[in-house]
Amino acid sequence: MEDVISRIPKILNSARDTAEKIQNASDIERFESEFFGKKSALSVLSKQLKELPADQKKEAGKAVGALRQQLTDLSLQKKKELAGAMQKQKWESEWIDVTKPAPANCGSLHPISRVQERVEEIFQSMGFAVADGNHIENEWYNFDALNIPASHPARDMQDTFWIQRKGDNPNKNFVLRTQTSDVQIHTMQEQGAPLRVIAPGRVFRNEDVDASHDAVFYQVEGLLVDEDISLAHLKGTIETMLGHLFETDTCIRFRPGYFPFVEPGLEVDFQCTLCRGKGCKTCKQTGWIEFMGAGMVHRNVLKNAGVDPEKFSGFAFGFGLTRLAMMKFGIDDIRLLSSQKIDFLSQF
Ligand code: DAH
């Protein structure tokens, strides 16, 4: 009996030492097989118990039973500690800061804004100011002052959204401006001559929408008024602007064109930058890209805006910023530009 009982403290100490080092589930398994397995000291003691004489069995049995209980408690305690530690680790790894801003995609400039910014920079470097205009415009600024009276057939060239607002004078008509040319009149009235200005902005036409037409698009208007201005100044200005925009020398050509607010009026083409005039899909095999309308400001327009046509002359031009952006970025459907599709917009 002495033999059995005297070994108990050593077994207990060794179990405590081993339990101390338990870190994970497999350490627990090892502990259990070491202290409760078939070859464990406990199992050896249990066997020896059976061989003891009956009068000693009781006391020694109690001692071995107490050892079994202590070892079991030790194992349970360790299991509990381990489960707690694992739960804590899980919570820590899953912790999120709910006050942090949600991850967001970085925005970028719209392709039209990008081209507009570049065009503005280039004209500003040539001394042009940048002016804003009104989207809702008095009929007089959009048409009459630009030498397009009500009876003029040129009014039919642009399908117009007419507007009648509550409280408007019924004799005065308003439109969603069909062209940025209205800014010519405002700036001449406000600043007089000499003057150099461009006016990028939205225009509106009552058109059927398809891949190349939208009811809302962007134009850039240009106006330069000074003494002794000629078409040569217009040519130099446009060549310089396109050269900077395309970062290569760009050839332009004038064709006669009709716009009531200029005389003579011109259509300006530039040589296709892709095929360099040889003919390709983009220029429809012509070697040229139609770019803008332009001309020498009509004396009626100067007069309407309060500028003396005897003293001053000027050139004006207008081109489609939307079309230019589509060409620059190879966008083949105008509707994409107003689609607000992230897949499309995030490319720029
Ligand atoms: N406003 C014209 C249009 O929308 C473009 C234009 C042509 C503007 C000739 C001009 C110009 O200033 O001189 O089609």
Q: Is 262 in the pocket of ligand 1 (CB under 6 A)?
A: yes
DSSP string, 66-125: HHHHHHHHHHHHHHHHHHHHHHHHHHHHH---TTSPPP-PPP---HHHHHHHHHHHHHHH
Report the separation in Å between the CA atom of 259 and the middle of ligand 1, taken as the mean of its atom positions. Answer: 7
Q: Is 181 in the pocket of ligand 1 (CB under 6 A)?
A: yes
Q: Which atom of ligand 1 is nearest to the CA of 221?
A: 12
Report the separation in Å between the CA atom of 200 and the middle of ligand 1, taken as the mean of its atom positions. Answer: 12
Q: Which of 175, 255, 261, 266 to mutate to test the pocket of ligand 1 (most atoms within 8 A of CB)?
A: 261
Alpha helices, DSSP H, located in the chain? 2-20, 25-36, 41-51, 54-94, 111-125, 139-142, 182-191, 231-246, 299-304, 321-329, 342-345
Q: Report yes or no on whether pTM surpasses 0.75.
A: no
Q: Is 147 in the pocket of ligand 1 (CB under 6 A)?
A: no
Residue whose C-alpha is closest to residue 178's, from 203, 156, 202 = 203
* Domain made up of 111-345: CATH architecture: 2-Layer Sandwich (3.30)
Q: Give the pLDDT of the chain (348 residues) as one tens digit per residue.
A: 677 888 899 999 999 999 999 999 899 999 999 999 999 988 988 888 888 888 888 888 899 899 999 999 999 999 999 999 999 999 999 998 889 888 777 888 999 999 999 999 999 999 999 999 999 999 999 999 999 988 888 787 778 998 877 777 777 789 999 999 999 999 999 999 999 999 999 999 998 999 989 999 999 999 999 999 999 999 999 999 999 998 988 999 999 999 999 999 999 999 988 888 999 888 889 999 999 999 999 999 999 999 999 999 999 999 999 999 998 888 989 999 999 898 999 898
Q: Which atom of ligand 1 is nearest to the CA of 157?
A: 14
Q: Which of 259, 290, 317, 324 to mutate to test the pocket of ligand 1 (most atoms within 8 A of CB)?
A: 259
Q: Is 318 in the pocket of ligand 1 (CB under 6 A)?
A: yes
Report the separation in Å between the CA atom of 295 and the middle of ligand 1, taken as the mean of its atom positions. Answer: 9
Q: Which of 159, 175, 181 to mutate to test the pocket of ligand 1 (most atoms within 8 A of CB)?
A: 181
Q: Is 199 in the pocket of ligand 1 (CB under 6 A)?
A: no
CB 257 within 8 A of CB 290: no
Specify the residue for token string 């910014």.
117
Q: Is 142 in the pocket of ligand 1 (CB under 6 A)?
A: no
Report the separation in Å between the CA atom of 293 and the middle of ligand 1, taken as the mean of its atom positions. Answer: 5
Side chain identity at residue 60, one-letter code: A
Predicted local distance difference test score (pLDDT) of residue 105: 75
Q: Which atom of ligand 1 is nearest to the CA of 203?
A: 4
Report d(CA 60, CA 120) in Å as an integer: 101
Q: Is 139 in the pocket of ligand 1 (CB under 6 A)?
A: no
Q: Is 294 in the pocket of ligand 1 (CB under 6 A)?
A: yes
Report the separation in Å between the CA atom of 181 and the middle of ligand 1, taken as the mean of its atom positions. Answer: 6
Atom 2 (ligand 1) nearest CA: 318
Predicted local distance difference test score (pLDDT) of residue 1: 67
Q: Is 259 in the pocket of ligand 1 (CB under 6 A)?
A: yes
Each domain of the chain, given as residue ranges in start order, spans 2-94, 111-345
